[in-house]
Structure 1
């Protein structure tokens, strides 16, 4: 058999459509196209035109360095996502050597026998040999309507089973399938992240500030008769300093590190921006079954109807079940019947119709000797209608269902029919799904993080109230039917006011997500079935639980690999830590840009000359911007409330700190001119000013990384080492006169370091605490990244 498999594998290969990878040369070439690259290239051209060849080579080196850094980070991020997605490979139920097993879909070969059910991707082209299903073929044909398939029909790879289950034989795999010849397997819409908006907002603030100051400098220069072309390289460099060159790289590195950290916590991130979305999430809609509860139903009290016994209820309920589908209710009936030895080989299930949310029941045709009969199992209301119970009987049985529900039990009805006669009610069976031991603590922790938890369940309201109260969600439960009757403008308010929704169909979840988003909420949604996919796509944080179907996993941005929902705490905490790190970068960038621009322009207005060269300014920008990417590893504490980008607030704090550093820088410039005898136009003054700006920028990172006083937390080892390395490099450039700098005495460098350190750690730290928002209550020590 193994030799046959090897022969088939050699002939047909694996069942996969290889993704066409982009040309890395073209990707690298794109790094020389865009606003930042254009500014650098214009500077190179102007410097060449003005015969400043040292500046040409310096800027060219920085342009190439920037391209290499950007290309490398994107390449590493793409590899990280690809590695994570391999963990989400589609599995299939496969019959080999007479045994049903679960294998990766890529291992399928023509001739294999597979089984598909509602919620599965069809993994290859399969010819049906048993059963019937309905398919969503929108990914193949663009048609949204479901298509019925029966024995003899072909299920095309890439379509989705929306109803029923069936067995079939694989006919074509991989690129030979109809699907492989048309489109890629995964075609999932992804919501837009907040990153582009954040970068755009920061850039607009910086350009507005710097553009105003440069316009003033240019006007003064023209009035003094200076040649505009000679001013342009430095003016362009100052303008370049306003562009957050490394912010995109910081986002990428931060999210890649966060995603890799989450893998160890049982969370797979299928979209790098998911931690950013999780940081802002303020409402989490969760399923009851299998998420807040154990999803391990057991049969409790059995209430038979007249003419039937308790054993009849269990036996017929088990016969209306399918063990292969691993449905919790089906398994509970089968386990109860087997425990009492009520099943044997004389009962043969000829056909089986799995649970349908529309009919709310399962059906099976059973043969027992020469007799054939129908068995049904499902919600009491559904079977009461099918059995034609009168009003009095319906009310009596419904009272029993309600009484069980108040005790937290879910009641299933069982019925049977022979020939053309209408079904007869056999009885009721009460099932109980106990809350998970960690659910109450989980709900409390989510609430402590400012995330409102809304429980959604298809169960009746009494059961929903009992479970929601037990796990700490709350007992205010509204019916889904009441939501549909409400004014659309009031639905969000109703959801905010209540703790959950009962009687929810899977398709209702999408409407609930939309309503909450209309109320300005950032929504998380858990799901596991094919009908949950629209809601998972719509939610900012779509969460597929461990038992989710392939469709749900494909639509979600977060996939949990452990039972329950406790793992969802990690993306929230890690995302908020990432948010704090990026906030630090933006605040430092704003303050530092104010310092550089105001100092250079102000010194020009006072001295009539630019105190630093274009090449030195470019080197300063890249030394400080890219070393700050290591902020992605910094030790921070997560905030107790959902993250909200407040660029205006950051700009206010950054402007205050930046103006303070500017005044302090002019004080140091005065000391240099007066006591170090630096000439207004000397090369040594340019070196002195380079060191001044460099150490103010680096020390300010230590200050702004902590909302409270800088000593309240220590930076990460990576951040500390890179900042120290940057300081040593700047000191070496100034002391030994490298890269075109004029060497200055070490005593002057020590004076610069001492002055900037005192101003940063004393004056600016006190100023930051005074103008920034209050520090949040400390959480537990963050995990190492």
Structure 2
């Protein structure tokens, strides 16, 4: 629900049935007329949640708007002014290719989410013009008289006029037990009728229903996109470096009397070198490969950035029902009456059940009987009376070996009255119920009679939704990975506390109502409680959404797991929304990752893979910053010292292909996931890049001096070609240095990365020796000199500098 707004459903909930019908203009005997329906469709619209979609053309054109496209577009303009048409065509190709790749990947992800959002074509029994008919739920309007019965999906918010039902609201509210609905109560859209039948009047449709308002929250929710933040941060730093050095070059040129127009080629070179044009592609490819690997491990990623966000996740909010627990009732405790045994309690409870009905309580007793090795198959069923909300019990008459008996189970007070218990026995029974209730258990009584004897109490059984077997291990493993887990549930505080203790989460569970009151009177105290709490009980969908937003406001990267409609807004808002395997379509559509195996253990695979992806992307970014720093400083200083453009714009464009795009092979590199959540620390990356880049500039000037002084290279005799070799070979060996925390030999690079690096070196060597338009060929000895120079300096000198710089106290390797 949207905070601060009151829904029509809440208004009608407070009204009596008669007043509600009068206000709706509804008659349970005749239903609405056709004319009235048409008027209400015009007023309220159809019973659906409309979606606003952006056109594909608009989406594609947006790819040409932003810092990266602007820089590319500026270089295209400069290339046109300088009549460098080859550069213009190549850069324009980069711009378009980048847009096409990004658009394609987003469309793929959108299609995946849309397929998950496809809902069943729900139909409803509706009374109109005195005739009952089955019609699409989309056509319902407020005031319609509808009939729901066992197994039905409630199609709108309905005020019960007649009948009793038990409904499953777990997908909406997170409550793990069925809820009884009688005359005057509200049946919420999206819940499922488990038992009974009811006739009611529709009070809310579409976005005004509980379900619809939750869907609106999903639309409003917007996770933070760290990928965009990283790209923007990197661009700003690189652009700042270029602007500062260009300003220096312009000032020095002005002092020397050089025309400012002659500096434009230098501006073009520096702008092209600073654009991380392949970075969005690197992000996309790396995350896509990670997503493909995760599919094999039971995680379907529907938003590519979720893998990268999972690397930084330090808070995980976990829905209880159906996520930590299996949303399946089990027998937690038994108290046998008199001389009866616990096995008898289970046996008679199972005999008063029918497996074919798939009732959660029946299944709990039947599975318990099988687990205790009790023979229920030897009993022949004569008669079975299913649960009726009015009678509040089930009953079965069975026969075995010629002996007939009648078994029943149900509400404690109902069974106690049936057995005629005295006040002392009732007092004892109530004490047992209070003990179970304090632990959040649901208590049922079991009774039986043999051969016409009086019905006697066999005992009571406590049922609850037990945690999944792997939940406790997962909580411990997440804690070891630096992730704090908090449980969110719509269940009562005792239930939440018991489950939290059982899985080792902690006992600091807060009732959401109490937290809201405290927040109104003392916000600071409320923030303290949120920070130290292990979970929140008795919460609504908007509460989950607001808790996620609150944690994000305190600079946490938040994950959220869930399975129901009530979880969808929080799943959408969280950076890492994770829907479990049995989640509703709405939950899967709102999530950024869907688990395909039972339980939550695959979340660890998502975290580990995400952290590996982070390391690979960081390696690429660090290498890009180092190379940009080296090129910009080297080109500007070389121009100021020699008056020559030792690197042409064409060489830089070649480097974009030969380094930036080829090094996308880093996305396949062998890396070790970190044990703590990752963080994007651009300042740390820049510090490392500046240190290594400074040494590389010095090394490059040393080799340039040799090339110009002793080899006699000029622009006419292949200086630009030699500069290409210098920058590319240095870049290739730098990748081997920065990909590893320790010395470069501490781990073997991935085979695809090694092949790409070797192939790049071979291709560049061939181009340099053979020559191409725009590059003068140079002798093979010159190529080998550049290769050997950077082999020694990068893998020996720079690797030594890296390990010493990065091992200083307080300095953490960013990769």
Give the shorter-chain TM-score range. 0.7 to 0.9
Indicate how the Cα distance of structure 1 residues 411 and 81 shifts in structure 2: closer, same or farther if over 3 A, else same. same
- 8 Å Cα contact 1:411-1:428 kept in structure 2: no
Paired position in structure 2 for 1:218: 250
Paired position in structure 2 for 1:490: 525
Give how far 1:517 is off: 3.4
Paired position in structure 2 for 1:235: 267
Paired position in structure 2 for 1:476: 507
Q: Pick which of 571-580 and 502-511 moved more.
A: 502-511
CA displacement, residues 449-498 of structure 1 (integer Å, 9 cap, x when unaligned)? 11122344566666655554443x24433342654454433334334434
Aligned counterpart in structure 1 of residue 636 of structure 2, from 590, 601, 620: 601
Instruction: Please say if 1:749 is aligned against 2:767.
Output: no
Paired position in structure 1 for 2:189: 161
**SS of equivalent residue, structure 2 residue 675:** coil
- 8 Å Cα contact 1:278-1:541 kept in structure 2: yes
Instruction: Please say if 1:268 is aligned against 2:300.
Output: yes
- 8 Å Cα contact 1:77-1:256 kept in structure 2: no
**SS of equivalent residue, structure 1 residue 454:** strand
**SS of equivalent residue, structure 1 residue 708:** coil
- Counterpart CA distance in 2 for 1:537 and 1:393 is 52
Instruction: Please say if 1:758 is aligned against 2:792.
Output: yes
**SS of equivalent residue, structure 1 residue 268:** strand
- Counterpart CA distance in 2 for 1:475 and 1:17 is 42
Aligned counterpart in structure 1 of residue 96 of structure 2, from 33, 56, 67: 67
Aligned counterpart in structure 2 of residue 732 of structure 1, from 763, 766, 782: 766
Instruction: Please say if 1:591 is aligned against 2:626.
Output: yes
Aligned counterpart in structure 2 of residue 200 of structure 1, from 232, 254, 270: 232
- 8 Å Cα contact 2:278-2:661 kept in structure 1: yes
- 8 Å Cα contact 2:98-2:278 kept in structure 1: no
- 8 Å Cα contact 1:465-1:476 kept in structure 2: yes
Paired position in structure 2 for 1:563: 598
RMSD over aligned Cα atoms: 5.1
**SS of equivalent residue, structure 1 residue 297:** strand
Aligned counterpart in structure 1 of residue 677 of structure 2, from 627, 633, 642: 642
Aligned counterpart in structure 2 of residue 611 of structure 1, from 634, 646, 663: 646
- Counterpart CA distance in 2 for 1:72 and 1:123 is 38
**SS of equivalent residue, structure 2 residue 672:** coil
Indicate how the Cα distance of structure 1 residues 531 and 73 shifts in structure 2: closer, same or farther if over 3 A, else same. closer
Structure-to-structure mapping, 1:185-196, within 5 angstroms: 188=219, 189-196=221-228
- 8 Å Cα contact 1:44-1:59 kept in structure 2: yes
**SS of equivalent residue, structure 1 residue 577:** helix
After TM superposition, the score normalised by the length of structure 1 is 0.73
Structure-to-structure mapping, 1:193-592, within 5 angstroms: 193-299=225-331, 328-329=360-361, 331-332=363-364, 339=376, 347=385, 399-401=431-433, 403-404=435-436, 410-413=441-444, 428-431=460-463, 435-456=467-488, 467-471=499-503, 473-480=504-511, 483-486=515-518, 487-501=522-536, 508-592=543-627
- Counterpart CA distance in 2 for 1:670 and 1:519 is 53
**SS of equivalent residue, structure 1 residue 765:** helix
Give how far 1:178 is off: 10
Indicate how the Cα distance of structure 1 residues 437 and 31 shifts in structure 2: closer, same or farther if over 3 A, else same. closer
Give how far 1:77 is off: 5.4
Indicate how the Cα distance of structure 1 residues 36 and 502 shifts in structure 2: closer, same or farther if over 3 A, else same. closer
Give how far 1:515 is off: 4.2
After TM superposition, the score normalised by the length of structure 2 is 0.71
- Counterpart CA distance in 2 for 1:504 and 1:561 is 27
**SS of equivalent residue, structure 2 residue 803:** helix
- 8 Å Cα contact 1:703-1:765 kept in structure 2: yes
**SS of equivalent residue, structure 1 residue 678:** coil
Give how far 1:231 is off: 2.4
- Counterpart CA distance in 1 for 2:231 and 2:474 is 34
**SS of equivalent residue, structure 1 residue 643:** coil
**SS of equivalent residue, structure 1 residue 260:** helix
CA displacement, residues 236-293 of structure 1 (integer Å, 9 cap, x when unaligned)? 2302322321211111222222222222111122222111221111122324454444
Unpaired segments ≥5 residues, structure 1: 1-14, 96-110, 115-121, 138-145, 152-158, 168-176, 353-362, 385-390, 417-424, 777-785
Give how far 1:41 is off: 5.2
- Counterpart CA distance in 2 for 1:326 and 1:226 is 88
Unpaired segments ≥5 residues, structure 2: 1-47, 125-132, 163-186, 196-204, 370-374, 398-407, 417-422, 448-456, 811-815
- Counterpart CA distance in 2 for 1:232 and 1:74 is 33
**SS of equivalent residue, structure 1 residue 161:** coil
